[in-house]
Amino acid sequence: MASVFGHALVGATLSKVLDKNQMKLLLVLAMISAILPDIDVLAFKFGYAYEHWLGHRGFTHSIFFAVIWSGILSLIFGKSNKMIFFVVLFLATISHAVLDAMTTGGLGVGFFIPFENTRYFFSCRPIQVSPIGISKFFSEWGVRVILSELLWIGVPCIVILFFNKITQKFSTTKKQYS
Ligand SMILES: [Zn+2]
């Protein structure tokens, strides 16, 4: 995993940029969806090995899971905005796996589970892998993770949010004067 902060920030950014109506509920669900795949660390407690399809970075990190999860949420919460809920939540959920595939450690990501159990990394892996467990996070390792995420996730997200804000302001000013 990247840390919960890195994942949640990407979820929030996707919602802010893609949702013209700026729905608070969608923002919150996008942040949750971007963190959720790591719920599979519980699999260790149930005795599943990392490389098992239900193990860490397995099923809940797959494209299949992202489709099912965002489909269910958009049906429950989307009301008249089901499509934008689905798009934002799918991208937020799968963004987690994409970031994980760019980290320096662990096993790769099972993007194609349940159809294929191969674990994948991208060739570009600049993000420091985050420790599993809170206690280990408060360490030198945790500091390295935060710094690496600030650079590779924080800065891009903040730049995107900044330009998004400016274009929104610009389009509302244009509307006022047209
Ligand atoms: Zn993960």
Helix axes 24-35, 82-100, angle to 10 degrees: 30
Averaged pLDDT for residues 69-95: 98
Which residues neighbour 168 within 8 Å (Cβ) at sequence distance 6 or greater? Answer: none
Mean pLDDT over the full length of the chain: 92
Query: In angstroms, rounded to a whole number, what is the distance separating the alpha carbons of residues 9 and 24?
Result: 15
Averaged pLDDT for residues 152-170: 91
* Rg over CA atoms, the chain: 17
> SS3 of 120, please?
strand
Query: In angstroms, rounded to a whole number, what is the distance separating the alpha carbons of residues 85 and 94?
Result: 14
Around ion ligand 1, residues with a beta carbon closer than 5 Å are 1, 38, 100
Which residues neighbour 35 within 8 Å (Cβ) at sequence distance 6 or greater? Answer: 4, 7, 8, 11, 96
Distance 1 CA to ligand 1 centre (A): 4
Distance 15 CA to ligand 1 centre (A): 20
pTM of the model: 0.89
> SS3 of 127, please?
strand
- At 2 the pLDDT is 66
- At 1 the pLDDT is 55
Distance 167 CA to ligand 1 centre (A): 32
Determine contact, residues 89/73, Cβ cutoff 8 Å: yes
- At 29 the pLDDT is 98
Tens of pLDDT along 112-157? 999 999 999 999 998 988 877 777 767 787 888 888 889 999 999 9
Distance 73 CA to ligand 1 centre (A): 20
Burial class (CB in 10 A: 0-12, 13-18, 19+), 97: buried
Distance 161 CA to ligand 1 centre (A): 24
Averaged pLDDT for residues 39-55: 93
Among 155, 109, 144, 158, smallest CA distance to 3 is for 144
In this predicted structure, the answer to whether residue 176 has a pLDDT above a threshold of 90 is no
